[in-house]
Each structure stands twice: as structure tokens, then as C-alpha cells.
Amino acid sequence: MTPFALPRALRGLFVLAALALLGGCAPGAPEPALTDDERPAAELIRVVPGDGAKNVRANDAFEVRVSEGRLEQVRVTEIWDSGRRAVEGRVMDGGRSWRPTGGPLGLAARYTVDAVARDAAGHRAARHTEFRTYVPEHRFVGYLTPAPHSTVGTGMIVSFGFSRPISDRAAVERAIQVRSRPPTQIAGHWFGSSRLDFRPREYWKPGTVVTVDLRLRDVRGADGVYGAQRKTVTFTVGRSQVSTVDAAAHMMTVVRDGAPPARVPVTTGGRANPTYHGKMVISEKFEVTRMNGDTVGFGGEYNIRDVPHAMRLTGSGTFLHGNYWAKPEVFGTQNVSHGCIGLRDVQGGGRDTPAAWFYNGSLIGDVVEVVNSAGRPVTADNGLGGWNMSWQDWRAGSALRELD
């Protein structure tokens, strides 16, 4: 017997102990020849892609196979910059091979493979290998509205803005699932190549919990451009509030959760700049903000640094906000704004003014509908204006074309 050689009866015990420690091998360490005979493990267990392979493509072959005997265990882990997951697979061919069952390989990932097998004589071997997949040069992400875990109004529309133009819209839309509890019909609609919105057929019911499953990682959005996200977020629908602004009557009627309507005097856009008419959704709230006519095409007509209780209604600059610079008698009698909806307020934002009452009781996602205005209809892509489309027209904007 040579020095340090183990008796054959003890080799199996050594292998079992080594197998128990295999999961703790440091990346890049030499591959252990863990067998209870004297052959290298690689002679019995073959892994494709090979150990140390790089730039493996998503659809390249991935297999663990034994030359004889059978596989006892295969453990595969996918590791990427923000997480890891166990890769599901199935042993086939009477135990001679293992293949993944979960679809293509993930891109920009490191894969570790730990396999245990017995040969025809009953000898056990264990092998650890690693490989890395192709890293795309270009990635895209989707920026989601509303914020995760937020409580929103019943008119909330789920909106994604993409960091790069999307040409394979069907693949991207298919990778985003929006579902609700209680269940309701929900559909997507594309506005150009960089925005995808989802809404239900009718306003959400109060108390609905909405879940957004984002499975964009490695989804091809355009030639050479792949998604980078894999996450799930939720938000909750709060009480119902729908406000109707009658521009001709200079009055806003607020209906909140079926309570008696509250009527609030307002001023809307004047004759030269009438307010858009149609359904708009509160998308942002600011205790105080600056409004500069230069940013919305009105030149130097106004520059107010401290507009109180401001709520954004459109992407083009329509707000519902507190107004302290107009005379009190204007509210309820005249339309004097540049297109915004003004409620009486005081400089610095009062606590018991009409503007403060409405601001404090409103949620992002509440609907504000303007009627009897000489302004243009608000378009569906101006802010969260999708409620101005019929359900049929909304569904027609889906890349999946699954129309009723």
C-alpha cells in the first residue's frame, strides 16, 4: 500500500463526505475528482456546455449525461446580478441524461452544475462545473406607473415607458402579466414603440389588489436588444372618487364612495385656452410646484414659483391646482386660466380652502372628467387618458390582438 492511500473499503466514505461538501466549493476552484474508484469524474459525467464555457447562447444545448450507469442527482443554479434561482430539469433515458424543462438559458448569467452518478459497477462520482451565458450589449427596462405598494384611485392605468424603442411588441406584451383580485378583464394598448398601458374594461372596484408580473429578462425587444427585469409588484385600489368639472357652469362635482356629491366652485381655461374635455387621471401630486409658461408654449405669460396643491392631469401640462392670485369672485363665475382647473386657495397653501380639501382627499389614479368645454378632447396618450377610448378600440391596440 502506498503512503496516504485509502483502503478500498474507506473510499466510499470519503466520497460521501466530499459530496456533502460539494455545494460549498468556491467558484473557480479546481474541479474535485470525487470518485470511489480511481477514474476522474469527467470520464463518467459529461456536461454540455463544457466547464468554463463563455458566451453560451440562450438556445444552445444544455445537458448532463453519463457514459454508463445512471444519474442520482443533478442540481443546477442560475445566478445573475440581482438574484438566483434553481433550474428545474428532468432525468431521462433511464437515468442516463438530464435536461432543463424551463425553457432557454438566461442571458448574462452564471450557471453552476453539481451532478452525482453511479457507474455500472456501482461506483459513485460527483462533478461540479460552471459556464457563463452571452451578455447582450444592449438592454432595455420598463418604468412602471403606479409606484409599487401604493394605494390608488379606481381610474388608475398601469403604464410602462421603455428605455429603448420596442419593435417586437408582442413578445414584450406577452412577458408582462397584469392580474387582479377580484379578477376582471384587463388588456394592453401600445402608444408608439416606447409605451404600453394596461387597463380594465371598467374602473377598478375599490379594494382590488393588482399584481404586475414583469418577466422581461432576456425577452427580445428589438434586434440585439433584450430585457433586463424580472420582478413582481403589487398595488391596491382604494375608495372610489370621480370628479366632474362643468366648464360652462364653473363648478366641480365630487362623488366619493357613493356619498352625497360635493360641489366646488372652479375656474377653467379662458376663451383663448379652453381646458381639454374628456376623462383625465391624477398622475402626480405636489404640495407646491412651479409653473412656467415657457415650458408649455405660453412664453413669459406666467411664472409662478409656488403653486399650491397641484395635481397633474395630462402629460402636456394640465393641472388641477390651488389658485391664490385670482380674485375670490372668479371661482364659480369665470374661466380665466391657461387651461388648468383652478380651486380657491391662499399663498403657501391653506388648510381649510377648497383646494386643500380636494388635494387631501384625492389619490393618484382618481378620475377627473371635464364636460361642456370648448377645448379639444384629451387624447388617450396624453397622461393616463386611456379611459377616453372604447373597450373595442383599446383592445385593438394590443400587439396580441386577442379581441372579443
Specify the pLDDT at position 156: 98
Encode pLDDT of 302-329 as tens digits: 578 889 999 999 999 999 999 999 999 9
The HSE-up count of residue 91 (CA atoms within 13 Å, CB side) is: 14
Cell numbers that stand for 140 in this block: 432595455
Indicate the SS3 state at residue 219: coil
Positions marked active-site: 321, 340
Give the rounded distance of the alpha carbon of 236 from its chain centre. Answer: 15
Specify the pLDDT at position 122: 87
Encode pLDDT of 355-392 as tens digits: 999 999 999 999 999 999 999 999 999 999 999 999 99
β-pair partners for 215: 230
Kindly report the backbone phi and psi dihedral angles of residue 17, in degrees, each rounded to the nearest multiple of 5, phi listed first.
-65, -40
pTM equals 0.75
DSSP 217: B
What domains appear along the chain, each with residue ranges and CATH number?
A: 8-133 (2.60.40.3780), 138-238+390-396 (2.60.40.3710), 241-373 (2.40.440.10)
Distance CA 179, CA 176 (A): 10
Kindly report the backbone phi and psi dihedral angles of residue 176, in degrees, each rounded to the nearest multiple of 5, phi listed first.
-115, 120
Which single residue is written with the C-alpha cell 377580484? 182
* Pairing of β 186-190 and β 195-200: antiparallel
Write the CB contacts of 390 (distance below 8 Å, at least 6 apart in sequence): none
End-to-end CA distance of the chain: 80
Distances in Å between the Cα of 112 and the Cα atoms of 71, 109, 132 are 17, 10, 9
Distance CA 149, CA 152 (A): 10
Specify the pLDDT at position 22: 41
Encode pLDDT of 190-207 as tens digits: 999 999 999 999 999 999
Per-residue pLDDT tens listing for the chain (404 residues): 333 343 444 444 334 444 443 443 334 444 444 455 556 778 899 999 999 999 999 899 999 999 999 999 999 999 887 678 899 999 999 999 999 998 899 888 899 999 999 988 888 889 999 999 988 889 999 999 999 999 999 999 999 999 999 999 999 999 999 999 999 999 999 999 999 999 999 999 999 999 999 999 999 999 999 998 889 999 999 999 999 999 999 999 999 998 899 999 999 999 989 999 999 999 999 999 887 766 566 665 557 888 999 999 999 999 999 999 999 999 999 999 989 999 999 998 889 999 999 999 999 999 999 999 999 999 999 999 999 999 999 999 999 985 44
List helix spans (H) across 188-258. Answer: none
Specify the pLDDT at position 7: 43
Specify the pLDDT at position 300: 59
252 and 266 Cβ atoms separated by less than 8 Å: yes
Specify the pLDDT at position 341: 97
Write the CB contacts of 343 (distance below 8 Å, at least 6 apart in sequence): 252, 264, 265, 266, 309, 320, 321, 322, 323, 331, 353, 354, 355, 358
